[in-house]
Amino acid sequence: MKGLIMGLMLLVSLCGYAQRITGTWQVSRQANCLSVELDEISETEEELLEEMASRSGNAPKTFVFNNDGSGTGNWRTYGKRKPASKEKFLYRYSDGMLYLLDKKSRLITGTYIVENITASTLVIINKDRTCERTEFARIN
């Protein structure tokens, strides 16, 4: 009986670890509405998509979610001298939803559906624009 309880506790703790959003995540794949709406891409549209992707730069997009509900995002901003901009944010993760909060009023400013979360991957979908999908890989 003790072995069964210990096994159950171990399983629950492993599942809890896999469901944690805290840590450092890097964007591995991102799909926007334009790429989803284009079924057959012409050469001109393909060139346009490649140019749009090249403007984002080669600095990796990373997000850090802290235990206290705060986080930072790091990405390249077009037209800025600095290679990357860091933006602090507040978040709340519950019931498969990720909420971005306003720093002062703590009102919800963005809502994302967590499609999949494991120990190494995170997939979120913008609730307002379901064609925007972002996949992350845990780097820390």
* Higher pLDDT among residues 74 and 9, named by residue: 74
Q: Which CATH class is domain 21-138?
A: mainly beta
What is the C-alpha to C-alpha distance for residues 79 and 100, in angstroms, rounded to an integer?
Answer: 26
What are the pLDDT digits (tens) for 66-113? 999 999 988 655 555 555 667 889 999 999 999 999 999 999 999 999
Flag whether the pTM goes above 0.85. no
What backbone torsions phi and psi does residue 113 show, to the nearest 5 degrees? -90, 125
Cα–Cα dist 56/7, whole Å: 47
Give the residue, 61 or 138, on which the prediction is more confident: 138
Can you give the pLDDT at residue 34?
Answer: 63
C-alpha span between 78 and 51 (Å, rounded): 12
Top pLDDT among 74 and 17 is at 74
